[in-house]
Amino acid sequence: MNTHDSETKHWSGTGQLRGGRWGIWFFIMAIRVLGLRAAYALAVFPAVYFSFASPDVPATMDFHRRVFGPLSWWKRRWFVFKHFYSFGCAIIDRTVILAGNRRNFTFQFDGEKNLRAALAEKRGVLLLTAHLGNWEAAGQLLTRIDVPITITGFDRERPKIRDVLNRASKQNFRLLPLTGSPTDAIPLVAALRRGEVVAMLGDRAYGSPSAKIPFCGGVASFPIGAYVMASIAGAALMHVFSHREPGGCYRFFGFPPQHPQMPAHHERDAYLKKCAAHFAGDLESVLRRDPFQWYNFFPFWENAGTAAQREVRKTQSTTPLAARPSPNKL
């Protein structure tokens, strides 16, 4: 499957929400009129529909197989519904939080001292995160650090839907849409050199330079551009993830800062691969807490077949991810 096909056939490659303008408007109004719990209940219906109709179902089932091991037919279907429903609830939470209503949520930040220590260097901080939990909630929480924040992403939302979302939002950070062009890095490096915070996703390559890394029992491509940008800007780089816990508590994990510096040209590929592997390891340690909060509904892994991939599966996939040890303390 080429990049264009994958971006048009899978939700996470389109940069667009499913459901259309009126479907999104309906849920925004349901939140305002009926409340948060009623909106969660209504989210069951689109989750059921998309768990059968979405082109993302095969990739989601493949992820579940890697995480939980072999599953019966009914459990595969139940896990797909559970995963899509979790995503629907995350979108509802995002809408509520971006509208400035936080009273239904609490927030905890494990490793905030790491972020403040990196900011104290006055050289900018690049936060590398993933399609995990609810990054928009993290963006709102990070506004208390009183430093300009730029969040990047592929935003190809249709204008009418973007208008609906913008009118419902009171976001306190700047969203910088990416185009896939090499020039995307210019304003990001400039922001870092001004001592600002830049946040970007590290679990989808989108056709950009990447490294093949063992991950969840297979081999997947992780982008390496963030480390290059941090090196050029002289900025610190942190792996930061969010995770929703019972009771409406969002917990954020800020791993210790790194200071990427490009080695000699002949050592660069190995160095960047090591950086990407470090990110993949941190992502897996947080993802293990609740795999249904990783919303990367995409055929993420390389096709099986090579001896290296068979060896990765032999050593990693025999133990389901959910059964592995908890992540180390930050």
- Position 328 in a domain: no
Residues 6+ apart with CB under 8 A from 205: 221, 222, 223
CA 140 to the chain's CA centroid: 16
| Domains in the chain, number | 1
Q: Give the Cβ contact number of residue 308 at 10 Å.
A: 12
Higher pLDDT, 318 or 77: 77
Do the domain assignments include residue 264?
yes
Q: Is residue 292 part of a domain?
A: yes
Which pLDDT score is estimated for 298?
85
Cα gap 198→304, rounded to integer Å: 35
Whether 181 and 274 have beta carbons less than 8 Å apart is answered as no
Q: What's the mean pLDDT in 44-48?
A: 92
pLDDT band with cut points at 50, 70 and 90 for residue 34: confident
Cα gap 226→127, rounded to integer Å: 9
Contact 199, 127 (CB under 8 A): yes
- Domain of 263 in residue numbering reads as 3-323
* CA dist 89 → 40, 77, 128, 142, 192 (Å): 6, 18, 23, 21, 33
Give the per-residue pLDDT at 165.
37
Residue with tokens 């989750």: 47
Residue 17: give its domain's CATH number: 3.40.1130
Q: Percentage of the chain surpassing pLDDT 70?
A: 73
Residue 7 has what pLDDT? 46
pLDDT in tens, 227-273: 999 999 999 999 999 889 888 888 888 899 999 999 998 999 999 99
Query: Cβ(164)–Cβ(25) under 8 Å?
Result: yes
Percent of residues, the chain, with pLDDT higher than 90: 38
Q: Is 275 among the domain residues?
A: yes
Backbone torsions φ then ψ of 162, nearest 5 degrees: -60, -35
Which pLDDT value is given to residue 276?
A: 96
Q: Per-residue pLDDT for 330 more than 70?
A: no
**Domain annotation covers residue 175:** yes
